[in-house]
Amino acid sequence: MSSPSDRTSAASSHSPGEVLALISSGTVATRADIARITGMARSTVSQRVDALIAHGLVDEDADGGSTGGRPPRRLALRTREHAVAGVDLGASHCRVALMDIGGATLAVQEEPMSIGDGPDSVLRHVERTVRTLLKETHREPGTLRSIGVGVPGPVEFSTGRPVDPPIMPGWHQYPIPEFFAARFGVRALVDNDVNVMALAEQRRAFPDCRYLLYIKVGTGIGCGIVADGELHRGAQGCAGDIGHIRVGDLDDPCRCGNSGCLEAVAGGASLAAKLVGLGLDATSGSDVVRLVQSGNRDAVRMVREAGRAVGEVLAGLVNFFNPDTVVMGGALAAVHDQLLAGVREAVYRRSHPLATQLLRIEPSRTGENAAAVGAGILAIEHALSPAQVNRQVAGGPLVPSS
């Protein structure tokens, strides 16, 4: 049994950042709740809460629900003066979502753009877009707390730098976080686009799911992994690169230099090329979707076969990782009836019955804003992390509390 002094030490160890985490998650709503949950003395609770209020991170308002006596005062995360930007950089588009730190989306802007234009041109466009959205939502640039960025290539997460991204010429080792730090004075967190999509899906659509795989089937194919509620990136940040797993004995050439890769067999660009070979007009995964939706039999057959190929690889992942949910996203997920039919056929045939007993395989619920929102969530979780909040509290007030 611990001594009273041990319990006092443990109780007093809750930092302002940890207290804010309890408030922002909805675990506590009053000072009394904090004291009860943490075991801290009321005086210590008051010190922590007063510091958070003084730094504009928490509001405390009368509940109005009292049936007599002094009404309880409820604590809530203050969101008005705190914003983040979520940036989705695709092969041919840029989508930026401005969000408050409570997770509400304030504005979204998407424009066509080629990632091949290079980092200087693309990131300056992002900078202009972020400033435009701040102005449109009547927020000063100083209210921006963090930026999240999803890119279509491998990223060393610890540095935020792309590493040999195949469709991003000129981006290798480019210091994306430093670009934004120099212009906004905030930290930018950079990740692979499939990872931030997985984060958005788990946080927004499947919050009770602890083990989730997000499969993006677009021009390329990738997998985002959520393990025990947290993104799993692997040792260097390239976990989930399933697009270059070999499928059967097929020899379709892949842009990586090998043959028979899943991406070369089932990716949107590969399917489009095969349809062109049949005399159809298709240059991208979006054209494949259009043909399927118009009822073209060759396109429907190819998408279902692509689903089986994805399912062959996914069956191994299900046996190995044992997720409770698999989400299919990306351009080809727009025709999920055909794609998922092939995926489910292969997964349930080749995976262990125990692993598929309660397994859900479903289309994405977060839609086209998945990567931008997921990048925004990445930025929010950084801005609200106890370590970051403690640094803010130690550095002096950020905004007025009134």
Q: Does residue 70 register a pLDDT over 80?
A: no
Question: Are the C-beta atoms of 97 and 82 separated by less than 8 Å?
Answer: no
Q: Does residue 292 register a pLDDT over 50?
A: yes
Q: What is the mean pLDDT of residues 22-37?
A: 94
> CA–CA separation, 311 vs 318, rounded Å?
10
- Which residues are registered as beta bridge partners of 108? 97
| pLDDT value for 63 | 64
CA angle 292/296/302 to nearest 5° reads 65
> CA–CA separation, 389 vs 366, rounded Å?
29
> CA–CA separation, 54 vs 313, rounded Å?
53
> CA–CA separation, 39 vs 12, rounded Å?
8
| pLDDT value for 65 | 53
> CA–CA separation, 167 vs 311, rounded Å?
25
Between residues 138 and 7, which one has the greater pLDDT?
A: 138
Q: What is the mean pLDDT of residues 223-232?
A: 97
DSSP assignment string, 222-251: EEEEEETTEE---SSS-TT-GGGSB-TT--
Phi and psi angles of residue 42, each rounded to the nearest 5 degrees, phi first: -60, -35
Phi and psi angles of residue 95, each rounded to the nearest 5 degrees, phi first: -125, 130
> CA–CA separation, 200 vs 196, rounded Å?
6
Structure tokens at 304: 């279902």
- Which residues are registered as beta bridge partners of 189? 148
Q: What is the mean pLDDT of residues 343-356?
A: 95
Structure tokens at 357: 């007993």
Please state, as a whole number, how many other Cβ atoms lie within 10 Å of the Cβ of residue 172.
14
Which of 75, 70, 45 shows the shortest CA–CA distance to 60? 75
Instruction: Report the amino acid identity of residue 19.
Output: V
Q: Work out the end-to-end distance of the chain between its first and last CA atoms, rounded to an integer number of angstroms.
A: 45
User: What percent of the chain clears pLDDT 90, i.e. is strictly above it?
Assistant: 82
Which of 377, 315, 386, 326 shows the shortest CA–CA distance to 350? 315
Structure tokens at 131: 């400033």
pLDDT digits (tens, 9 = 90+) for 205-221: 999 999 999 999 988 89
Q: What is the mean pLDDT of residues 294-323?
A: 96
- Which residue do the tokens 């979780």 mark? 381
> CA–CA separation, 303 vs 345, rounded Å?
13
Q: Does residue 167 register a pLDDT over 90?
A: no
Q: What is the mean pLDDT of residues 240-264?
A: 89
| 187-192 vs 144-151, strand pairing mode | parallel
Question: Are the C-beta atoms of 318 and 360 separated by less than 8 Å?
Answer: no
Structure tokens at 179: 């670009």
